[in-house]
């Protein structure tokens, strides 16, 4: 039967006696694991920033090189 294992103590690696198998992930379980809408928003914003920042730098450098080559 498929399921997920959660650790009931704050330890890495999780000891076998502290593991619990759950069959369904609910919003309450996600919140208990620290996954909230705010943390998802932060992760998404970080991802977009990590991708768009190098793109913006590349566009700026390209514009500078193009302008300098016309002089």
Q: Are residues 41 and 26 in the same domain?
A: no
Q: Are residues 28 and 2 in the same domain?
A: yes
CA dist 11 and 61 (Å) reads 46
Residue 63's pLDDT band (boundaries 50, 70, 90)? very high
Query: Exposed, middle or buried: residue 64 (CB in 10 Å: 0-12, 13-18, 19+)?
Result: exposed
Q: What is the pLDDT of residue 1?
A: 54
Q: Are residues 29 and 47 in the same domain?
A: no
CA distances in angstroms from 24 to 7, 15, 28, 42, listed in the order given: 15, 22, 11, 25
Please name the residue that has the structure tokens 């768009």: 52
Q: Are residues 41 and 70 in the same domain?
A: yes
pLDDT at 66 over 60: yes
First-to-final CA distance of the chain: 69
Number of domains in the chain: 2
Mean pLDDT of 28-52: 89
What residues make up the domain containing 16?
Answer: 1-35
Q: Are residues 13 and 40 in the same domain?
A: no
| Structure tokens, 8 | 């009931």
Predicted TM-score (pTM) of the model is 0.53
Percent of all residues in the chain with a pLDDT value above 70, rounded to a whole number: 97
């Amino acid at each position: 039967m498929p399921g997920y294992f959660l650790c009931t103590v704050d330890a890495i690696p999780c000891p076998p006696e502290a593991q619990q198998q759950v069959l369904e992930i609910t919003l309450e379980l996600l919140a208990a694991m620290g996954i909230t809408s705010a943390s998802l928003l932060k992760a998404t914003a970080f991802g977009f920033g990590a991708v768009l920042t190098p793109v913006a730098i590349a566009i700026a450098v390209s514009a500078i090189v193009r302008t300098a080559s016309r002089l």
